[in-house]
Structure 1
Amino acid sequence: MMNRYLLVLFLLGGVGFFFSETASAKPRSSILPVSLRCEYLENPKGLDVSRPRLGWLLDATDAGAFGQRQTAYRVLVASTARLLAKEKGDVWDSGWIVSDEMQHVPYKGRELQSDRTCHWKVQVKDERGTVSAWSKPAFWTTGLFDSGEWKGKWIGSDELYNPAASDNNITDPWLRKTVELSTKPGKATLFVASVGYHELYVNGERIGDEVLAPAVADHTKRASYVAYDIAANLRQGTNVIAIWLGTSWSIFPGYILHEDRPLTPIVTAQGAIFEEESPQGDAKPLATVVTDASWKTHPSPNRLLGKWDFRNMGGEIWDARREIPDWNVETCDETAWRAATEYPTKLTLSAQLVSGNRLVDEIQPVGIVAQPDGSYRVDMGVNFAGWTEVHVNGKEGDTIRFQYSEREQDAMTFNLHSAYVIGAGGKGTFRNRFNYSSGRWITIRGLDKAPAINDISGWMVRTDYRDAARFECSDILQNWIYDRVRWTFENLSLGGFIVDCPQRERMGYGGDAHATSETGMFNYQLGAFYTKWMQDWRDVQGTEPMVGNMLDTNYARKAMTSGRILNNGVLPHTAPTYWGGGGPAWGGIVVSLPWFMYQHYGDKRVLEENFELIDRWLGFLGSHTKDDILQRFGGQWDFLGDWLWPNATAEGMNNDKPETLCLNNSYYVFNLRTAAKIAEVLGRKAEADQWGRQADVSAKAVHARFFNETDDSYANGSMANLAAALLAEIPPSSLREQVVDRLEKEILDVRGGHIHAGITGGALLFKFLRDEGRDDLIFSMLSKTTYPSWGYMKDNGATTIWEMWEKDLPGHSLLHSSYLYPGAWYIDGLAGIKRDPQHPGFQRFIIRPPVPGATSVSWAEAVFESPAGEIRSKWKREGGQLELALTVPPNTVAVLHVLPEEAVAIQQYPTITELGEAHGFLRYELPAGTYRLNGL
């Protein structure tokens, strides 16, 4: 037998016959569905979405072919893997749907039942109508759809936190329950929701590798549950299910006033245990598990240090003398354990629709130095937020202390510290469990001798999302900025939202989201992450911002710090955390982020789910206008404009100057114009017209009040105000180019090519320049190495991006969300992979390398895992000629933009179509395939 042909020789009357296998074989499809996702996640567990959306990507079966595309799809969903393998979709068989859609495909099968597994796969037809092979199978499991199905009680220990104490006074409690089973089960899911972090154990084994679970939610209203598959850990006979609670967010001042929630970590859990999964759902469970007063509790050896408060997030102390090695197995003596306390808490329970936190990027020390005071200073080599592990030795009762610092000259910054009390064995290991630290240096006190360098390890902790990009170019500084922006972003993405800083506040500022969200989307797969964060914003709406430190028992709603529940469209400046100051651009993220998500992912549901949120927010802003100008509202910290521009602390930021009012009004118009686009997409014509008209009227009012005719600027002529006005389309069309020229002059001449903007203004500036294609102005700011610049940070030893352009001002962090907005430009600017505004979701996208002379970069390359597949772009200029290597994924189309003087030869690719010239660029349409193009 040959490789592709079967030779059969029949000697019939001396005649030989040769049969080709390919003559009768089915033609092979050009594409294969891969990377199946449900609600943006791979094989998610516990979804409470009644009509989840499914998605997939496509692989080309012949990498050398062109024009591969999907013309139809068929989805099968089955109740068991066995039925799915037999191609029986007893839950849903979509039949053949004529469509090129491969993302956000809504499930339309039978009504889903709680606590079931849905097995699914997909096949597609290619451009010739050829049917592909089936994808590999995937699954999702359902959660509990009806709140009435929850039977578990909220339980915890009887230790209560004392807000007046100088430090946390309660331990992290253990809870356990014994369950008898007549046989080993085949199906068992335990749903666990907690206020405060938790870990789950079954018969002594930790379930899952998620840490700091669950993702943070607004614990005045909601708790998220995690679904754990525990069947493999259960056995016939006696089983012990144990939960370890961490204090953490249960005592956060922003959540502390809740009529029926105690000031202690609490948990509710339930699950049914079955001999095997029943497709019909009619099997009787072997046992059910619910939390109630029959559970036993005991203090663990672990306790939170600090108060989970502004500048006092603390750490943890482990007392090894209190260890009970068998606390979570059958042999444990429960004599000293007490009955758990039930708490009649009312919170909305919903599934955690985002990946949990995990340990990534193990970090090893680069040096240890003995200090004159007997301590040891450990240099971890990089600033990071996460866990540390230290092996220690000493005498029983010795306390070994760990202090964490971002600054080499300081033993401790922001009161971050942990401790370990040595037990009877004389040695042990400190390792974080329910808190994390942030810094580069660790000062260890209490050791008799220096630790070995291999006694110490660290890990970044972050939400477990996937990468979406890789980038590199000829410029060393640009590679450093890109790398450090990404590293900083990852260290801020804990708990399903972006914290402003992991050491001082840990709050989800809306203004900082503008500095991070598009950087996040162009570099990571964050659809689920941002969907979850938008739920947090919906939860906090209607509550006035809370700012400042709250120092008495009524502090959660104290008048001087606001926090009043107004039940209108007002938004605090952070979500889900309430605290912190900000301005209209902070709350305005509820308009901008859904729109960015729609443009990037093609996700229409995120617009629908947040439409009421947007409507109420704009209604609130509209109620604070006079003569179509937004007026200052709220308290001292509720109307910030730009924040932390160079030398801002000396100039004063929280003020009533015209530049603040101008920027906030420009942002108000930007919100209105964005909301009008959202309404248009959703077919909400009345709102689209209303917001569009209001935007035009307010734009005229802002221009009339703040435009400076003498130099074509706005207010104080700052980059922030010029960019905000342009982004909001404030200038009349007859003046637009003059204002753009004025912005260029501000950057290049007035500021010598340096940036002179902060968190909000800088994000708006980079957004406008990216949209405008002004790579030259962006590169000018990113290529500087003198103050203020990212290069200045590099030359001053930064390993993460700072909070301020100044390094040495006390009280400010060196790992912060402030200036991460360049991260998107490296992909959509320098690498040239751009969204097509008319085609959300990247099934049609633009490739536009920077024009000659815009940068000094001679080559750049990126791999971008877009929502529609992997895009590759590499360009270089050599000898005055442009060379391009492009990969366009199946089922997508790229439109290449180049200047006429850099026209490319396309004769070898008949599939390329010339589209003619527009806006100064020649345009070429490239269907799926891999291309190498050179100048003519």
Structure 2
Amino acid sequence: MNKLILLLIFVNIVGQSPANAKKRSSVYPKHLRCEYLINPRGLDIMKPRFSWKLEATNNRGFGQRQTAYRVLVASVDKLLAQEQGDMWDSGWVASDNMQHIEYSGRDLQSDRTYYWQVQVKDESSTESAWSETATWSTGLFMPSEWQAKWIGSHEVYNPSVSDNNISDPWFRKLIELPEKPGKATLFVASVGYHELYVNGKRIGDQVLTPAVTDHTKRARYVAYDIAPELRKGTNVIALWLGTSWSIFPAYILQDGRPLTPLVTAQVAVYKEQSPKNGAVPMATICTDASWKTHPSPNRLLGKWDFGKMGGEIWDDRNTVPDWNDLTCDETSWKAATVYAIKLQLSAQPVEANRLFGEIRPVSIEARPDGSYRVDMGVNFAGWMEMAVNGNEGDTIRFQYSEREHDDMTFNLYSAYVIGPGRKGVFRNRFNYSSGRWITIQGLKEKPRVDDIRGWLVRTDYSDASRFECSDTLQNWIYDRVLWTFENLSLGGYIVDCPQRERMGYGGDAHATSETGMFNYQLGAFYTKWMQDWRDVQGTESMVGNMLDTSYARKAVGSGRLLQNGVLPHTAPTYWGGGGPAWGGIVVTLPWFMYEHYGDRRVLADNFELISGWLDFLNSHTQGDLLQRFGGQWDFLGDWLWPDATAEGMNNDKPETLCLNNAYYVFNMRTAAKIARLLGKKNEANRWEKQAEASAAAIHTHFFNAADNSYADGSMANLAAALLAEIPPAPIRDGVMQRLEREIREVRSGHIHAGITGGALLFKLLRNEGRDDLIYAMMSKETYPSWGYMKANGATTIWEMWEKDLPGHSLLHSSYLYPGAWYIDGLAGIRRHPDYPGFRRFIIRPPAQNATDVVWTTANFDSPSGLIKLRWSRMSGRLQLDITVPPNTVAILQLQPEDAIDISKYGTISALGEKDGRHCYELKPGRYLLGD
């Protein structure tokens, strides 16, 4: 036995000797993405982009880099195993780039699956192993490839009634196949939500599909792989449509589109799993008049209108259990109605909506009136499921509320009608509720906690960050900001609130977009939302008609098609009030995406949108100052600052003119940077010149020399002026000091700003590294503050600073801007201004006396890899644990009192001082500093 062990040890040593082993690369490519997505289906992009990250093969090593890459793309996966790419072999490209590598191979074909992998060379030119295989499939590139018709039922919604009057319809089609197919991708585009079934089985786990889009112009299709469920012989494909957005007033046109849910779908069925170009399908199935339809037992309650989003009612007396299976009797089903409508069909370039985090009740109270009050323990937007029982025809009603003392808020309610089986299960399908409390009426006995559960519904993006610190209040705020964000991100855009409006406000996006990017993987999400903004451009905004919902695009009033650069205040939803900072998100969001993801295409795709918007604003200037335009709700400045309801709307006051002009300059300066990057020198010069002229005009008209303030001296105006570089250089420090005095002395450390003003304030202070001023506001527990919300039992972030004002949401986007600061401020992981995409990034812990926090730990999965950072201060001494991912460089910036002796560390270089901080360069690897 001992001889055998010695022999094995000898063989193992010989096998590992240099003469017998190939040198291993220091890195390995992982986390492959195509257009930000993991193995996406149905992309309609002719030149998709590939990205990956690198992992170190030795966690104790330093300096791991990529010096070259090779990408293979194949039409059949087995070719990759032979290191062949029949679609594209990039060859070895000497580059350290691993983001947004554009496909440059043979022309892609519609409705095909492609396979790709990547190999890299490390800092020693050693080749890595090939990555795991990733895939993507294509959609239908040409409109002429769509053979399917738009179909719907004969039921059409009547806007004049008090409630929705049509059912969510079923559709089905029998098909015959000569053999089991190898490939069958069904493309489904719907106006309104849909679910897909094949031979009785639900396809996919996504919900509330497709993502919301502007149905005056576009419908998005979703690609489903149905080949595994098809079989030789007779099959049935079934679709269930939800009314939802099909009757949204802003999408009601005068060109004859019926007010009813619609669908168009088609599939080419192939024998082969990977058909060759030109292959003939064994069958092609398209929606047309041969499909059958029948009303389902489900119906939208409400009108899908402002404050009337309602819920759903299920009538179990009308259920047909096998409606989607072969056994169904179609005798009473009618032929589907074909509708001739014109909508551009596009792929859905964003993750689907899914259910997250099962929520159980914390208590159920029986009340004297026979109803039951359920406390779910947390305010959330999503689905509810409950087992019910009773006599046939009994109606069980559910009312949803954000407020403990109200049975129902914002007209959110659902119902279930008991069928002959005397019991059933209510579950959402094509709508969702929002609230913490549920009032249940009609039950004959108290439900059990196990009878009820809920789920958050949101777009299925991935997390990017984890954060925790020694300050329990900051942990609570961070957690609630993220929970609120998730509850608002349903449908491929951020809503202001999920219960009353469900609109994608551009102004609110300033409060959410960087919080989103620093905490979630949102490249695809924001790319899709920017397409929504392109779709709505050219449509007039509110003009004061906030509640006029008869038609979004009518001859007079709200929603005229002006065909210029004007933007409504929301996308893709059109409604809502706002001001220049609302439309201005079309400039700032693409720039934030470029800084964060290194994405140049998002700048190019939206450049015309940006240019049109600035041309529109320029047409409303006089003497280099932007003038008030639009109606009552079209020129808001800051919004929902403390005491805003008492002070009234501010859009006719000088401070609003000042703020909107400063934001206009901020837009122009940002747009000029975009233009220079894209090589558009004329536009860059024009915007830079106008920005300087407007900045001088703002300073002349609004600067108060006595105290170095602008307009009313508010935090919003001071921050906007500084962010837009309005103050001449000699007085900038004085204006910054005035802002500090406004926070510390005038407002006793409390914030006094709203949605837009607060977002601009936090953006400025984050840029300036003023963690001390942000922490002063974040550590308060009295009004107005986030801590005040906590002290008053909040489980989500409110719409207003005031407690429980009637008619206002307790789950809202207003004040989510601290979410970015927790990562790039309190944790200290910052973007480098000169290197987009985190290939170089900054580590800057807060100064010793900036906060009361004694330690933080954060993981940030950046576009270039996982950055880990823990800092702590023990007896005033800073200790750091930093992980710099492969192929990146960290710039460590420390206060003089925290300087380190680099002689102990061979992989750290001193870079000198900048802005009073000692700077060091850290190559990839893990560093324990300060021990």
AA aligned to 1:715 is: A
Structure 1 partner of 2:919 = 923
1:772 Cα offset (Å) = 0.3
- Given candidates 235, 238, 244, the residue that maps to 2:234 is 238
Structure 2 partner of 1:645 = 641
The answer as to 2:680 corresponding to 1:680 is: no
Name the SS for the 1:522 alignment partner: helix
Name the SS for the 2:18 alignment partner: helix
The answer as to 2:831 corresponding to 1:835 is: yes
- Given candidates 876, 901, 907, the residue that maps to 1:905 is 901
Q: How does 1:519-918 map to 2 (within 5 A)?
A: 519-546=515-542, 554-558=550-554, 561-918=557-914
The answer as to 2:72 corresponding to 1:76 is: yes
Deviates more, 1:548-557 or 1:778-787: 548-557
1:547 Cα offset (Å) = 6.7
Name the SS for the 1:804 alignment partner: coil
- Given candidates 264, 270, 277, the residue that maps to 2:266 is 270
Q: How does 1:29-428 map to 2 (within 5 A)?
A: 29-428=25-424
AA aligned to 1:916 is: G
Is the contact made by 1:543 and 1:565 (CA closer than 8 Å) also made in structure 2?
A: yes
Is the contact made by 1:155 and 1:292 (CA closer than 8 Å) also made in structure 2?
A: yes
- Given candidates 452, 460, 475, the residue that maps to 2:456 is 460
Q: For each residue in 1:819-841, what CA deviation from the matched residue of structure 2 results, as whole angstroms up to 9, or x when unmatched?
A: 00000000000000000010000
Q: How far apart are the structure 2 equivalents of 1:45 and 1:8?
A: 48
Is the contact made by 2:148 and 2:288 (CA closer than 8 Å) also made in structure 1?
A: yes
Name the SS for the 1:22 alignment partner: coil
1:394 Cα offset (Å) = 0.2
1:355 Cα offset (Å) = 0.4
Q: How far apart are the structure 2 equivalents of 1:7 and 1:875?
A: 45
Aligned CA distance change for structure 1 residues 19 and 106 (closer, same or farther; 3 Å): closer
Deviates more, 1:905-914 or 1:362-371: 905-914
Q: How far apart are the structure 2 equivalents of 1:3 and 1:185?
A: 56
Q: For each residue in 1:499-543, what CA deviation from the matched residue of structure 2 results, as whole angstroms up to 9, or x when unmatched?
A: 000000000000000000000000000000000000000000000
Structure 1 partner of 2:480 = 484
Q: How far apart are the structure 2 equivalents of 1:314 and 1:184?
A: 43
Name the SS for the 2:253 alignment partner: coil
Name the SS for the 1:171 alignment partner: coil
Q: How far apart are the structure 2 equivalents of 1:898 and 1:4?
A: 55
Q: How far apart are the structure 2 equivalents of 1:184 and 1:548?
A: 59
AA aligned to 2:277 is: G
Question: What is the TM-score when the length of structure 2 is the normalising length?
Answer: 0.98
Name the SS for the 2:794 alignment partner: coil
Aligned CA distance change for structure 1 residues 708 and 175 (closer, same or farther; 3 Å): same
Aligned CA distance change for structure 1 residues 747 and 86 (closer, same or farther; 3 Å): same
Aligned CA distance change for structure 1 residues 2 and 46 (closer, same or farther; 3 Å): farther
1:912 Cα offset (Å) = 0.8
Name the SS for the 2:812 alignment partner: coil
Aligned CA distance change for structure 1 residues 443 and 185 (closer, same or farther; 3 Å): same
Aligned CA distance change for structure 1 residues 332 and 79 (closer, same or farther; 3 Å): same
- Given candidates 425, 434, 447, the residue that maps to 1:429 is 425
Name the SS for the 1:98 alignment partner: coil
1:282 Cα offset (Å) = 2.8
AA aligned to 1:663 is: L
Question: What is the TM-score when the length of structure 1 is the normalising length?
Answer: 0.98
Aligned CA distance change for structure 1 residues 56 and 417 (closer, same or farther; 3 Å): same
AA aligned to 2:22 is: K
Q: For each residue in 1:658-713, what CA deviation from the matched residue of structure 2 results, as whole angstroms up to 9, or x when unmatched?
A: 00100000000000000001011111111111101110000000010000111110
Is the contact made by 1:475 and 1:857 (CA closer than 8 Å) also made in structure 2?
A: yes
Is the contact made by 2:173 and 2:290 (CA closer than 8 Å) also made in structure 1?
A: yes
Structure 1 partner of 2:18 = 22
AA aligned to 1:392 is: V
Q: For each residue in 1:313-346, what CA deviation from the matched residue of structure 2 results, as whole angstroms up to 9, or x when unmatched?
A: 0000000000000100111110100000000010
Aligned length: 928
Q: For each residue in 1:250-293, what CA deviation from the matched residue of structure 2 results, as whole angstroms up to 9, or x when unmatched?
A: 00000011514210000000110111134522322121110000
Q: How far apart are the structure 2 equivalents of 1:106 and 1:780?
A: 45
AA aligned to 2:595 is: Q
1:206 Cα offset (Å) = 0.5
1:25 Cα offset (Å) = 1.2
Q: How far apart are the structure 2 equivalents of 1:313 and 1:19?
A: 69
Structure 1 unmatched ranges of 5 or more:
10-16
Q: How far apart are the structure 1 equivalents of 2:769 and 2:429?
A: 46
Name the SS for the 1:666 alignment partner: helix
Q: How far apart are the structure 2 equivalents of 1:332 and 1:820?
A: 50
Is the contact made by 2:800 and 2:814 (CA closer than 8 Å) also made in structure 1?
A: yes
Q: How far apart are the structure 1 equivalents of 2:225 and 2:621?
A: 53
Aligned CA distance change for structure 1 residues 3 and 449 (closer, same or farther; 3 Å): farther
Name the SS for the 1:262 alignment partner: coil
Is the contact made by 2:542 and 2:633 (CA closer than 8 Å) also made in structure 1?
A: no
1:24 Cα offset (Å) = 2.8
Deviates more, 1:546-555 or 1:270-279: 546-555
Aligned CA distance change for structure 1 residues 740 and 199 (closer, same or farther; 3 Å): same
Name the SS for the 1:890 alignment partner: coil
Q: How far apart are the structure 2 equivalents of 1:378 and 1:3?
A: 69
AA aligned to 2:217 is: K
Structure 2 partner of 1:14 = none
Structure 1 partner of 2:494 = 498
AA aligned to 2:682 is: A
Structure 2 partner of 1:12 = none
- Aligned Cα RMSD in Å? 1.5
Q: For each residue in 1:329-375, what CA deviation from the matched residue of structure 2 results, as whole angstroms up to 9, or x when unmatched?
A: 11111010000000001000000000010000110100000112110
Q: How far apart are the structure 2 equivalents of 1:116 and 1:907?
A: 57
Q: State the percentage of identical aligned residues.
A: 73
1:641 Cα offset (Å) = 0.3
Q: How far apart are the structure 2 equivalents of 1:390 and 1:3?
A: 66
Name the SS for the 1:23 alignment partner: coil
Name the SS for the 1:907 alignment partner: helix
Q: How far apart are the structure 2 equivalents of 1:4 and 1:536?
A: 68
Is the contact made by 1:636 and 1:654 (CA closer than 8 Å) also made in structure 2?
A: no
Is the contact made by 1:4 and 1:22 (CA closer than 8 Å) also made in structure 2?
A: no
Aligned CA distance change for structure 1 residues 552 and 127 (closer, same or farther; 3 Å): closer
Name the SS for the 2:884 alignment partner: strand
AA aligned to 1:30 is: S
